[in-house]
Structure 1
Amino acid sequence: MQLALQQIVPIPLKEKFTKRGSDIWNKDLQFAPGEWVKIKAPSGTGKTTFIHIIYKLRHDYEGKVWWNGQELRQVKDNELAQMRQQNVSVIFQDLRLFPNLSARENIELKRVLQTPFYEAGMIDSLAERLGVTHILKQRAGLCSYGEQQRIAIIRALIQPFEWLIMDEPFSHLDQENIAKAAELIAEECTKRKAGFLLTDLDADEHFAYTKVLNL
């Protein structure tokens, strides 16, 4: 599944972004299946806006986003739902967990969409890898932000995907937990021959990136 960007720029920030150099805004780009892409950006330069645009949560932009040759604005709701369930998984910066559901229930909601990619026992296996087994029965809203971030990572990995989109996925993790999460993400993407887009503030060596771009 190929992702292509054609001269996209957020309309509310157009004047700001046209005056500064960017590897993404107002550029023509193609991301091939299986690429691991780091998008480095300081605060306030539109990381979350970019993620929301390519996931079709925002529409206030100029230019075009293409998924597999189909312009994103033309993707119908049922096709979009299918794409989000089978082809594109996401870790939002604000996580978007259901606070009154348990950590396990939040993950299970994603696992059982359409044909499950993993059996239910995989939740326990991934939780053990990331050190959150003890909170699986706990309401997500009562977990620390770092625990919630690891639950959101597991939730994204439990479903099928060809692309994994991550918006500052390690912002509340210490170095030890970042290393565990990065290793798990790399394993899952390698297993599926999947690509990913990761936004973050600074340079890092968590992955063997195929591209590093400045937003």
Structure 2
Amino acid sequence: MKTITFDKIIPNVFSSQQDIDSEIWNCKAEFEKGKLYLVEAESGKGKSTFCSYILGYRHDYEGTVRFDNAITSEFKVKDWTEIRKKHIAFLFQELRLFPELTAWENVQIKNDITKFKTEKEIKEWFEKLGISDKLESKAGRMSFGQQQRVAMIRALVQPFDFILADEPISHLDDKNSEAMAEIMMNEARRQGAGIIVTSIGKHMELNYDKTYRL
């Protein structure tokens, strides 16, 4: 997958609004593989909706979302399964870790499916993110910031053309934010992938190719 295109997309919830002040909604917005994007949004502007449209979790909109030349509203379940397994990695804002599993188990449950990273590589990420002592800690007993770092590692243990990170550093200090950004950037470069970061405030300080106002 080389491009993600939003072409005149208007969420149904916004369809009655006459003037939508956005650089994505009711516009043509394109995201290219290998480039770095920031999507800035105020609360209530549809950031979670935007993410859901890319991932195929919601289709309540007018307009067209395309992956290359393919119209995503025509995809079947098996198509979305393939997309999420091999083409789009996602760091959920709400993380969606299994609280009863350890940090290590939360990552390995995905890596066991993808067979994408070695244990050594994963443990190096835990070390760089300052949570190597949390490998055997249950996710539900970790701080939200610690869980964010585990969720980022989990997001990276797969092949992808794009990674979508939804408010990835909302609970991190500057040091850990920089460490997480470095790991994400290095892996994206290794795969030649694009990065889409969303934010309603604090965001990774990166050299973005383009910033969209949602």
- The verdict on a shared fold, with TM-score over 0.5 as the criterion, is yes
Where 2:140 maps in the other structure, the secondary structure is helix
Alignment of 1:79-118 (within 5 A): 79-114=79-114, 116-118=115-117
Shift of 1:6: 1.1
- Does the alignment pair 1:195 with 2:194? yes
Which has the higher mean CA deviation after the structures are superposed, 185-194 or 200-209?
200-209
Find the counterpart in structure 1 of residue 39 from structure 2. Answer: 39
Find the counterpart in structure 2 of residue 182 from structure 1. Answer: 181
Identity between Structure 1 and Structure 2 (%): 36
Letter in structure 1 aligned against 2:77: D
Shift of 1:203: 7.2
Q: Aligned in 2, Cα 1:73/1:188: closer, same or farther, shift over 3 Å?
A: same
Q: Name stretches of at least 5 consecutive residues in structure 2 with no aligned partner.
A: none
Where 1:112 maps in the other structure, the secondary structure is helix
Size of the aligned set, in residue pairs, is 213
Alpha-carbon distance in 2 for matches of 1:204, 1:149: 14
Shift of 1:20: 3.4
Find the counterpart in structure 2 of residue 148 from structure 1. Answer: 147
Alignment of 1:1-215 (within 5 A): 1=1, 2-16=3-17, 18-114=18-114, 116-202=115-201, 206-215=205-214
Kindly provide the CA deviation profile for residues 60-79 of structure 1, in whole angstroms up to 9, marking residues without a partner as x. Answer: 11111111221111111112
Shift of 1:39: 0.5
Asked whether the equivalents of residues 40 and 203 of structure 1 are also in contact (C-alpha less than 8 Å), the reply is no
Q: Name stretches of at least 5 consecutive residues in structure 1 with no aligned partner.
A: none
Give the TM-score taking structure 1 as reference length: 0.94
Shift of 1:199: 0.6
Alpha-carbon distance in 2 for matches of 1:203, 1:174: 10
Alpha-carbon distance in 2 for matches of 1:94, 1:11: 23
Which 4+ stretches in 1 moved above 4 angstroms?
none
Kindly provide the CA deviation profile for residues 35-85 of structure 1, in whole angstroms up to 9, marking residues without a partner as x. Answer: 111011111211111001111111211111111221111111112111111
Alpha-carbon distance in 1 for matches of 2:194, 2:85: 16
Where 2:164 maps in the other structure, the secondary structure is strand
Letter in structure 2 aligned against 1:149: Q
Shift of 1:204: 5.3
Give the TM-score taking structure 2 as reference length: 0.94
Which has the higher mean CA deviation after the structures are superposed, 66-75 or 144-153?
66-75
